[in-house]
Structures are given as C-alpha cells and as structure tokens.
Amino acid sequence: MRIGELSERTGTPRRLLRYYEEQGLLAADRAPNGYRDYPEGCVDRVLQIRGLLASGLPTRIIKQILPCINDPRAIHVSDPTPETIATLEDERRRMTDRIECLLRSRDAISNYLEAVRRAQRPTAAR
C-alpha cells in the first residue's frame, strides 16, 4: 500500500510516516517510480509506534523495543548484546512505573467522576 492509504488507515499524517522511517522505526520498499510501498503489517506497527510515542517513549527507545514485539515468537538471539539487554530491562522498569502512575491517576479520575455523578443525581432511583 502507498503512503496515502497507510496514513488514512492509521490516522497519521504522511509527514510522520516519513519521519518514523527516517528514525528507523518503519521500513518501506520502493516502487520503480520511487513511491513507498508498505506491507500490510505496517498498519499495526504504526499504531504501536504512535501508542508508545503518546506514552512518552522517544523514538530511540521504541526502535529497540519494536523487534521484541514483532518477532512473532521467533526470537533472533542473533543481536542482543548485553548492553541492549540492560537497556531493555531498564526500559521495562520505566514502563512499569508509567503504568502504575497512569493506573493510579485513572482510578482517581474514575472515583471523581463517580462522585460527581452521585452528587448530581441526588438520591435518584434508589
């Protein structure tokens, strides 16, 4: 698929798809005319990237994480230097922190909304 379709299906500006490629997060081969040609799987991949970016991870880290997600079960034990492993462990910890922070805050919002709801519908269907 070409960049326009990928853009539409992922809700991502073309500009950013090119940027992700430049950052090494996304690969596309090229049609003879130079147009990018994306395989189907890119849709999910782009959504992953956007999700992680929205969660505060920089492209540099996402680049290291993506292979772990994509390799469908088949780990290439080829590359992982002890250094890479350390980075991954580090980043996993950071992600756990984020998750906990978000969970706490989300629950607080839920409680708040719930309380407001109760206060607004004072002693209704009870």
Interface ranges with DNA (CB under 7 A): 2-5, 7, 13-16, 18-19, 23, 31-36, 50, 53, 58-60
b/e per residue 86-113 (b: at least 16 CB within 10 A): ebbeeeeeebeeeeeeeeeeeeeeeeee
* Least Å from the CB of residue 33 to a copy of itself: 35
Q: Which of 15, 54, 89, 34 is nearest to 26 (CA)?
A: 15
* 69 is an interface residue for a copy of itself by CB under 8 A: yes
Q: Which of 24, 60, 97, 121 binds a copy of itself (CB under 8 A)?
A: 97
The helix (run of H) or strand (run of E) holding residue 36 is strand 36-37
**Contact predicate 45/66, CB 8 Å:** yes
Does residue 55 belong to the site contacting a copy of itself (CB under 8 A)?
Answer: yes
Residue 82 C-beta: closest distance to DNA, Å: 24
Pick between residue 31 and residue 102 the one whose CB is nearest to a copy of itself.
102
Least separation in angstroms between CB 27 and DNA: 12
